[in-house]
Amino acid sequence: MLEYYNYIKALHLIFVITWFAGLFYIPRIFIYQIEASEKPSPDKEILGNQLKLMAKRLWFIITWPSAILATFFAIILLILNPVFLEMPWMHVKLGFVVLLWLYHLKSHQIFKQLQNGIAKWSSNQMRLWNEGATIILFAVIFLVIVRDAVNWIYGVMGILLLAVLLMLGIKFYKRVRDKNPNA
């Protein structure tokens, strides 16, 4: 089975990428659903139904299968090469994977609410939520690539700086959008 290690690793990476693609796009659809729910009829119903269908297809055809397969191939990789479990960076990475699953499960909860016509989040709150997967992705990629050479103080400061920059970008976009609703 070790001769297939690189093939399994490639499959793991492919499904990680498609999982993140789904996690990046689903909050955008949520934003559009929330904004569509505030429109007058018949736009509200037409857009709402189309966005529900888009969300359902993205979530169940791409995002959920990718999450399951990425995790499945990761477990196989760890079984084939258990030495990684002894490395401190892998413990931190697995912590971020747990955070990613929590993000995924919370997104699933939001998905189910919006499918039932319940919008508990504003579009601005959802824009902030949209950045969660980005922060986790940055953390995991830098952790995997740099590994033990990472200075944890700088790493944590870098992730916090990224989060602040993303929040400032969202606030800036909101101002631009408030001045020009078609932006």
Residues belonging to the binding site are 12, 93
Q: Tokens 């939520």 — which residue?
A: 129
* Residue 149: predicted pLDDT: 55
What is the band of 92 on the pLDDT scale with cuts at 50, 70, 90? confident
Question: What pTM did the predictor assign?
Answer: 0.85
pLDDT tens, residue by residue, 51-76: 999 999 999 999 999 999 999 999 99
pLDDT tens, residue by residue, 128-173: 899 899 989 988 888 888 776 556 667 777 878 888 888 888 888 8
Q: Which residues contact 127 (CB under 8 A, 6 or more apart)?
A: 27, 31, 170, 173, 174
Torsion sign (Cα): 6, 11, 12, 18: positive
- Amino acid, res. 73: F
pLDDT tens, residue by residue, 9-50: 999 999 999 999 999 999 999 999 999 999 999 999 999 999
Residues belonging to the binding site for heme are 12, 93
